[in-house]
Structure 1
Amino acid sequence: MAADGRDGKKIDVDPKLLELLACPLTKGPLAWDPERGELVSRVAKLAYPVRDGIPIMLPSEARAISPEDVLPPPPPRLGGPG
């Protein structure tokens, strides 16, 4: 299921915005799930919806996710010269 806006276009989240957002419960990072149009907190096991391009960061609006639904961890970032 792809996330679509009202105009039928696929919704995407700005990577810079994603770096700024945090789970309101754990204060941990969120991962973007483009298939479901949700921001996923792996630690809290919650998926926050994005409606009309606006993240709904309310725990009462979040969907509980099972371990199978949790996205795989992002690839490790390569460190610069040390």
Structure 2
Amino acid sequence: MCYDRLVTDDEVAETSALRNGAMAGFLVLAVLLVEGAPAWVVLVSVAGGVALGTAFHQALLLVGTGALRVPARLRDGDAGPASEPARPGGRV
């Protein structure tokens, strides 16, 4: 889903990153409950899993955006932000 949005230049939804973070937290929860970890360890670890899973997803999207868009912009000659065309007479 996010890859399709990167390719089509659509805005990437933040809910996707949070959903991936929640899945990471769920995996941490499942492993720690099976292992019989104390409740405080489970809570702290799940919160960390959600936060790190979300941050990792956002980092991958940033890298993916750069890998897909920067070379395309350099190849097309559009390396900088779009600027307003000059007006006749040199006025701004």
Into which bin does the TM-score normalised by the smaller protein fall?
under 0.3
- Structure number having the greater helix percentage: 2
- TM-score w.r.t. the length of structure 2 is 0.19
Higher fraction of strand = 1
Report 1 or 2 for greater relative contact order, CA contacts < 8 Å, sequence distance ≥ 6: 2
Q: Which has the larger radius of gyration?
A: 2
